[in-house]
């Protein structure tokens, strides 16, 4: 019955003749591993079509839903992370295979007459593949893709006469937004794949017409595509698939950065296969890098079959391709090396990773509002606290040695590092003279020469120094930090007795109570330590350090953020909560 059905199908379609023609094509010189790249590329493209179609079923191309739909696929659809990963890493593999296939064609001389058209179609396919990579980069609508696309499309404006208009058409206006995303999606999921299919069909037709080019003398006897070459092609395709699956599992899918935010600039970098161009633009004007050099390369590729008609011309072509690849690799290596040495760039990546983890954490716990995931970060107190500290405090204070967001600060700090502020460890170090006058605390202020430094901390005996950790424990208890355990009442009473110097453990003039109040009695000539470093204390201190309860007229340059209207009350509360939220990295 099956034979009858197959006979009926063959009678109507001629499928047996087609299969026979495809499988029993002669391979001049026998099956070889160097011929596998074309089949691998066809396999990779087919995989991209299948995975891309499945991704399309979940994707929602708008500025409010793109990142959100990718997040849903990545974290809430069974196997969604694996699907994204295969599509992502298979795209990387396609670039590598294209280069390998191209070099095999050039080295073998398979670009020369009568195969000029096929070579040009191959070059066009490489351009379409790169365009697919560029347009796909934006679709997750995360920070990295958004800003990298902005850099790439800005280069379009360098094209003479039509550049600005072309950029406006691609972007969908003068600003990046919804129309940019929908146009890139239309290109990535419709126009470019259709173009690539047409080019592949033409490429295969011309390949079948002219056959495989083989160098003479032939290394082996001629054979057929089936089974020898198909076996090698299948093994190579399986190896590519295995590598992609390993990468996908190892990195748990494709990366997803924080949602795109035009108000929060990101130091954009393209994918690795465009890094050479990014680095080149540091050394040549944008017009040369975006127009002149690509135009020259396009012209050279068009003329290459004619240049290679002679033996010397062929050698020149091969040497030029090797030089081009070596130059691209060198520029890519330079770009990676410079980025590794760039502390600010590294900090920006760490900040983006933190934001990505944070927004996913919030989305998992609270869901995503109709305004989009970017609103989660804009309203998140942890994120706002970091940004408030960086913009208002980091000119004087550090936080674990940086500006609060992880970025290095060029100028030396003029006030204390506030990481772990109010903790036992932080206060213990504060009460040590060497730490007190260092840059970590008050070495950049006038207090390093004040009464506490010169007449108290510098004068402590060894016996008195041994008691200071207990004083620090008492003061830290008043801070009520979320990561430290409170004192038991009996222990607190013992430490209060030490603070009041009831047993005269400290020499006259060196006990804390002589200058600092701790029970709201409005006494003392130094800042009131009642509830020191607690949320209420810190909010009031940030609001007006010149209040009599704190520094009064002795304040050394610290702005009065609430009194002078520099920050809103709710911003001060967010900042205080953030400073108190995590321990220091001593």
pLDDT number for residue 481? 96
Each residue's pLDDT tens digit, 165-214:
989 998 888 888 999 999 999 999 999 999 999 999 998 888 878 777 66
The DSSP symbol for 225 reads: I
Q: Are 27 and 229 in contact (CB under 8 A)?
A: yes
E strand segments, 371-483: none
Helices and strands: H and E segment counts in the chain: 25, 2
Alpha carbon distances (Å) from 354 to 406, 453, 576, 583: 10, 39, 20, 17
| Residue ranges of domains in the chain | 27-268, 272-339, 414-579
With vertex at residue 416, the alpha carbon angle to CA 411 and CA 419, rounded to the nearest 5 degrees, is 105
Please determine, for residue 522, whether its predicted confidence score (pLDDT) is greater than 70.
Answer: no
Residue 28 has pLDDT above 80, yes or no: no
- At 373 the pLDDT is 95
Region of residue 504 (phi > 0: left; psi between -120 and 50: alpha; otherwise: beta): left
Range among 4-13, 106-115, 134-143, 284-293 with highest mean pLDDT value: 134-143
Query: Whole-angstrom Cα distance, residue 427 to residue 469?
Result: 8
pLDDT of residue 556: 86
> Phi and psi dihedrals of 389, rounded to 5?
-65, -45
The chain-wide mean pLDDT, for the chain, equals 91
What confidence category does residue 158 fall into, taking pLDDT thresholds of 50, 70 and 90?
A: confident
Express each pLDDT in 380-439 by its tens digit: 999 999 999 999 999 999 999 999 999 999 888 899 999 999 999 999 999 999 999 999
- According to the model, what pLDDT value does residue 375 have? 95
Q: What is the pLDDT of residue 79?
A: 96
Query: Across the strands, what pairs with 449?
Result: none
CA distance 61 to 75: 18
Q: Give me the pLDDT at residue 184, please.
A: 96
Question: Do 426 and 584 meet the contact criterion of CB atoms below 8 Å apart?
Answer: yes
At residue 567 the predicted structure's pLDDT band, cuts being 50, 70 and 90, is very high
pLDDT band at 249 (very low <50, low <70, confident <90, very high): very high
Instruction: Please determine, for residue 21, whether its predicted confidence score (pLDDT) is greater than 90.
Output: no
| Length of the chain measured in residues | 586
381: which 2 tokens? 């107190």
Note whether 153 and 171 are within 8 A (CB): yes
pLDDT for the residue 218: 67
Domain 27-268, CATH number (from 1.10.620.20, 1.10.540.10, 1.20.810.10, 3.40.50.300): 1.20.810.10
pLDDT of residue 7: 76
Q: How far apart are CA 59 and CA 139, in angstroms?
A: 9
**Rounded to an integer, what distance in angstroms lies between the CA atom of residue 275 and that of residue 271?**
6
pLDDT digits (tens, 9 = 90+) for 250-261: 999 999 999 999
- Per-residue pLDDT at 183: 95
DSSP state, residue 552: G
The residue with greater pLDDT, 145 or 26, is 145
What pLDDT, on the 0 to 100 scale, is given for residue 219?
67
Judge contact between 423 and 481, C-beta under 8 A: yes
pLDDT tens digit sequence for 141-150: 999 999 999 8
Alpha-helical (H) ranges within 78-222 are 80-108, 116-138, 143-154, 163-171, 178-186, 192-210
Task: Tell me if residue 271 falls in helix, strand or coil.
Answer: coil
| Secondary structure (3-state) at 568 | coil
The model's pLDDT over 97-137, given as tens digits with 9 standing for 90+, comes to: 999 999 999 998 989 989 999 999 999 999 999 999 999 99
Q: Which percentage of the chain shows pLDDT scores above 90? A: 70
The stretches of 251-373 forming alpha helices (DSSP H) are 275-280, 286-287, 293-307, 311-341, 343-366
DSSP code at position 115: -
pLDDT > 70 in the chain, percent: 96
pLDDT band at residue 303 under the 50/70/90 scheme: very high
Q: Say whether pLDDT at 44 is over 80.
A: yes
Q: What is the pLDDT of residue 553?
A: 87
pLDDT at 161: 83
Query: Model confidence at 153, in pLDDT bands (50, 70, 90)?
Result: confident
What is the arithmetic mean of pLDDT over 511-526?
A: 78
- Cβ atoms 473, 487 nearer than 8 A: yes
217: cis peptide before it, omega within 30°?
A: yes
Mean pLDDT value of segment 136-162:
90
pLDDT for 410? 86
């Amino acid at each position: 019955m099956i034979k009858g059905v197959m006979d009926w199908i063959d009678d109507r379609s001629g499928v047996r003749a087609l299969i026979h023609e495809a499988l029993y094509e002669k391979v001049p010189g026998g099956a070889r591993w160097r011929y596998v790249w074309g089949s691998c590329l066809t396999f990779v493209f087919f995989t991209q079509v299948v995975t891309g179609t499945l991704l399309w079923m979940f994707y929602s191309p708008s500025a409010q839903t793109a990142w959100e739909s990718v997040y849903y696929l990545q974290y809430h659809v069974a196997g969604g992370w694996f699907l994204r990963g295969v599509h992502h890493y298979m795209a990387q593999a396609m670039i590598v295979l294209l280069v390998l296939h191209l070099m095999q064609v050039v080295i073998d001389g398979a670009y020369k007459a009568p195969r000029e058209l096929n070579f040009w179609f191959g070059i066009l396919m490489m351009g379409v593949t790169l365009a697919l990579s560029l347009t796909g980069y934006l679709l997750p609508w995360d920070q990295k893709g958004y800003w990298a696309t902005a850099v790439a499309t800005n280069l379009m404006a360098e094209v003479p006469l039509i550049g600005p208009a072309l950029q406006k058409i691609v972007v969908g206006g003068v600003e990046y937004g919804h129309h940019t995303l929908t146009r890139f999606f239309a290109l990535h999921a419709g126009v470019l794949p259709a173009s690539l299919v047409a080019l592949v069909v033409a490429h295969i037709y011309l390949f079948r017409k002219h056959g495989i080019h083989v160098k003479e003398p032939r290394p082996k006897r001629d054979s057929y595509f089936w089974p020898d070459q198909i076996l090698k092609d299948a093994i190579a395709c399986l190896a590519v698939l295995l590598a992609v699956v390993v990468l996908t599992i190892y990195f748990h899918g494709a990366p997803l950065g924080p949602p795109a935010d035009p108000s929060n600039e990101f130091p954009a970098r393209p994918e690795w296969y465009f890094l050479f161009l990014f680095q080149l633009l540091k050394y040549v004007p944008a017009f040369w890098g975006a127009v002149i050099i690509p135009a020259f390369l396009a012209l050279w590729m068009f003329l290459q079959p004619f240049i290679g008609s002679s033996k010397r011309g062929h050698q020149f072509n091969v040497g030029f391709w090797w030089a081009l690849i070596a130059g691209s690799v060198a520029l890519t290596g330079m770009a990676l090396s410079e980025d590794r040495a760039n502390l600010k760039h590294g900090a920006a990546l760490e900040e983006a990773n933190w934001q990505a983890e944070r927004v996913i954490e919030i989305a998992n716990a609270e869901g995503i509002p109709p305004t989009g995931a970017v609103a989660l970060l804009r309203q998140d107190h942890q994120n706002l606290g970091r940004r408030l500290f960086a913009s208002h405090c980091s000119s004087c204070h550090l936080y674990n040695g940086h500006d609060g967001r992880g970025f290095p600060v060029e100028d030396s700090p003029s006030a204390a590092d506030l990481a772990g502020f109010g903790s036992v460890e932080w206060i213990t170090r504060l009460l040590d003279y060497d730490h007190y006058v260092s840059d970590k605390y008050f070495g950049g202020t006038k207090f390093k020469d004040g009464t506490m430094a010169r007449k108290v901390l510098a004068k402590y005996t060894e016996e008195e120094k041994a008691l200071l950790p207990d004083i620090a424990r008492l003061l830290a208890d008043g801070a009520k930090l979320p990561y430290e355990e409170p004192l038991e009442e009996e222990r607190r009473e013992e430490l209060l007795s030490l603070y009041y110097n009831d047993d005269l453990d400290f020499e006259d003039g060196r006990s804390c109570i002589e200058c600092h109040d701790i029970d709201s009695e409005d006494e003392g000539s130094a800042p009131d330590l009642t509830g020191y470093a607690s949320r209420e204390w810190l909010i009031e201190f940030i609001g007006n350090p010149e209040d009599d309860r704190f520094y009064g007229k002795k304040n050394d340059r610290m702005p009065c953020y609430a009194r002078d209207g520099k920050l809103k009350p709710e911003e001060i509360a967010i900042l205080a909560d953030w400073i108190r939220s995590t321990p220091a990295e001593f």
